[in-house]
Amino acid sequence: MLNKTLMAADPEVYRLIEKETERQNQNAEMIASENFASKAVMEAMGTTLTNKYAEGLPGKRYYGGCKFVDVVEDLARDRAKSLFGADWVNVQPHSGAQANAAVYLAMMKPGDKLLGFDLSHGGHLTHGSPVNFSGILYEAHFYGVEKETGRLDMNKIRDKAKAVKPRMISIGASAYTRDFDYEAFRDIADEVGAFLWMDMAHTAGLIAAKQLNNPLPWAHVVTTTTHKTLRGPRGGMILIGRDTENTLGVVAPKSGRVKNWGEVLDGAVFPGTQGGPLMHVIAAKAVAFGEALQPDFVTYQQQVIKNAQAMGRVLTELGYELVSGGTDNHLLLIDLRNKNVTGKDAENLLGRAEITVNKNMVPFDTQSPFVTSGIRVGAPAMTTRGMKEPEFEYLARLLDKAISKPTDEAVHDSVAAEVKALCERFPLYDFISI
């Protein structure tokens, strides 16, 4: 049950939380970047740790009374190191975007060149988009996928890097369905004298479970969110691998000591881009990392991939065009142009049928980002609820049923009823009344 103190203190907010919980319980959540945190993760976020200011790092705080939160943060860092094979970790970023901002501050100067994955081809907003600080402050150039295959061509990326000569090359995507060749990217970065940065926000859980390649041995720096496939609280993190050079070569003016990248990135987080850390969220990160270190987390991530691929097979049989022809990870990018429906319309149609997806640009899209020609569909959230291949195959058919009858409200009502019945077989949280 939700805390009755909240119900008494603010019944309006309480009722809205109840309604959102009901929506999550009765809806097929298929947005690729969403997931359901465990009860333990949510409980950690709702604790007295939210009261504590702890600017600085464990053992080096600007406030007193940090002896217990220091242990919490050290626990989160140590678990993250074990999970990803990292040598250094900062768990303080409030979000993935803030983790990325700290990387830019530490490794680039305004006006420096960035070579990133084009947002319209599956990349990420903070990798040079002109409407984002990364595209405003830095000279952004882009690589993308091939029109024929929907995949990256490393030879063309090498040619682009040699022509641009960027200060940094970024990897990472919000809608790319294939794994990355980090060794090849590092080879390119070394050839042109660039830093290599991987933003693994979408695939961190799959990487932690060793279902996808690990960027830590190859990238100079790695960032991630802690939700999405990692299934923790909303937040960010920065990591450095054990097998990459960690020496910056900049001499600290007072001590004469040579700084390393960890020190520089720590400073770029605080005081560089944010103030006090959210200690209740860091506690929840520690809980989530502990969960991810358990054997059943690997089983979960294996099932995520199986479910995404099962759904992809059925959608292909039903005549849908999948960008790159399928998936190696947790998501599908569906090009709807052969179905004569836009991404925006499909998102709305499926929303009425209680299936939540997001409109998404596809490579070489002819529609605007507000309309798009595709949708992005993900498996993490419904896999968390316990669904497997048969349920995802069923969901694929329900998705098709709703899209194929865009003006038939009776069909949409029927699909919504089927979705609700399916969700009732896999209840989300049994401790919250709805």
Within this chain, do residues 391 and 311 fall inside the same structural domain, yes or no?
yes
Q: What is the mean pLDDT of residues 63-69?
A: 97
Question: What's the pLDDT tens digit per position in 31-45?
Answer: 999 999 999 999 999
Name every residue whose Cβ is closer than 8 Å to that of residue 267 and which is 6 or more positions away in sequence.
106
Q: Is the pLDDT of residue 428 over 70?
A: yes
Residues listed for the chain: 434
Within this chain, do residues 244 and 306 fall inside the same structural domain, yes or no?
no
Q: What is the mean pLDDT of residues 242-261?
A: 57
Query: Is the distance from CB of 397 to CB of 357 less than 8 angstroms?
Result: no
Within this chain, do residues 282 and 315 fall inside the same structural domain, yes or no?
no
Q: What is the mean pLDDT of residues 51-67?
A: 97
Task: List active site positions.
Answer: 53, 55, 199, 225, 228, 234
Dist. CA 152–CA 359, nearest whole Å: 22
Amino acid identity of residue 136, one-letter, is: I
Q: Output the six-digit token pair for 386.
A: 């316990």
Dist. CA 71–CA 131, nearest whole Å: 39
Q: What is the mean pLDDT of residues 4-10?
A: 89
Q: Which domain holds residue 198?
A: 44-293
Q: Is the pLDDT of residue 80 over 80?
A: yes
Does a structural domain hold residue 188?
Answer: yes
Dist. CA 226–CA 214, nearest whole Å: 16
Handedness of CA 391, 306, 333, 220 (dihedral sign): positive
Q: How far are the Cα atoms of 52, 54, 83, 362, 431 from residue 280, in angstroms, in the given order?
A: 8, 11, 21, 38, 21
Looking up residue 324, the CATH number of its domain turns out to be 3.90.1150.10
Among 100, 108, 129, which Cα is nearest to 117's?
129
pLDDT for residue 251: 42
Within this chain, do residues 346 and 279 fall inside the same structural domain, yes or no?
no
Q: Is the pLDDT of residue 104 over 80?
A: yes
Q: Is the pLDDT of residue 255 over 60?
A: no
Within this chain, do residues 240 and 311 fall inside the same structural domain, yes or no?
no
Query: Is the distance from CB of 315 to CB of 305 less than 8 angstroms?
Result: no
pLDDT for residue 4: 78
Does a structural domain hold residue 103?
Answer: yes
Does a structural domain hold residue 122?
Answer: yes
What is the C-alpha radius of gyration for the chain, rounded to an integer number of angstroms? 22
> Binding residue per annotation — 124?
yes
Does a structural domain hold residue 222?
Answer: yes
Beta-carbon count within 10 A of 293 CB:
14
Within this chain, do residues 215 and 316 fall inside the same structural domain, yes or no?
no
Amino acid identity of residue 221, one-letter, is: V
Within this chain, do residues 82 and 189 fall inside the same structural domain, yes or no?
yes
Does a structural domain hold residue 18?
Answer: no
Does a structural domain hold residue 25?
Answer: no
Query: Is the distance from CB of 244 to CB of 217 less than 8 angstroms?
Result: yes
Amino acid identity of residue 349, one-letter, is: L
pLDDT for residue 434: 34
Q: Output the six-digit token pair for 311.
A: 């759904």
Q: Is the pLDDT of residue 263 over 50?
A: yes
Within this chain, do residues 337 and 380 fall inside the same structural domain, yes or no?
yes
Q: What is the mean pLDDT of residues 125-152?
A: 96
> Binding residue per annotation — 368?
yes
Counting the structural domains of the chain, the total is 2
Query: Is the distance from CB of 265 to CB of 87 less than 8 angstroms?
Result: no
Domain end residue (candidates: 241, 276, 293): 293
Query: Is the distance from CB of 73 to CB of 282 less than 8 angstroms?
Result: yes
Question: What's the pLDDT tens digit per position in 267-305?
Answer: 999 999 999 999 999 999 999 999 999 999 999 999 999
Q: Work out the pLDDT band at 406, boundaries 50, 70, 90.
A: very high
Among 400, 380, 332, which Cα is nearest to 360's?
332
Greater pLDDT, 258 or 165: 165
Within this chain, do residues 364 and 282 fall inside the same structural domain, yes or no?
no
Q: Work out the pLDDT band at 431, boundaries 50, 70, 90.
A: low
Question: What's the pLDDT tens digit per position in 348-369?
Answer: 999 999 999 999 999 999 999 9
Q: Work out the pLDDT band at 433, boundaries 50, 70, 90.
A: very low
Does a structural domain hold residue 410?
Answer: yes
Within this chain, do residues 265 and 317 fall inside the same structural domain, yes or no?
no
Q: Is the pLDDT of residue 259 over 80?
A: no
Domain end residue (candidates: 255, 278, 293): 293
Q: How far are the Cα atoms of 49, 102, 375, 430 from residue 21, in angstroms, in the given order?
A: 24, 34, 24, 11
Does a structural domain hold residue 33?
Answer: no
Helix, strand, coil fractions of the chain, as percent rounded to 5: 45, 15, 40
Question: What's the pLDDT tens digit per position in 296-344?
Answer: 999 999 999 999 999 999 999 999 999 999 999 999 999 999 999 999 9
Measured at the alpha carbon of residue 168, what is the angle toward residues 323 and 178, in degrees to the nearest 5? Answer: 20
> Binding residue per annotation — 369?
yes
Helical spans, DSSP H, in 293-426: 295-317, 343-352, 380-384, 389-404, 409-424
Domain end residue (candidates: 259, 293, 327): 293
Within this chain, do residues 405 and 285 fall inside the same structural domain, yes or no?
no
Q: What is the mean pLDDT of residues 175-194?
A: 97
DSSP 115: E
Q: Work out the pLDDT band at 246, boundaries 50, 70, 90.
A: low
Looking up residue 113, the CATH number of its domain turns out to be 3.40.640.10
> Binding residue per annotation — 83?
no
> Binding residue per annotation — 370?
yes
Q: Do strands 86-90 and 236-241 pair parallel, antiparallel, or not at all (unpaired)?
A: antiparallel
Q: How large a percentage of the chain has pLDDT more than 70?
A: 94
Q: What is the pTM of this model?
A: 0.95
Dist. CA 161–CA 157, nearest whole Å: 6
Site of tokens 């009755």: 4
Within this chain, do residues 247 and 382 fall inside the same structural domain, yes or no?
no
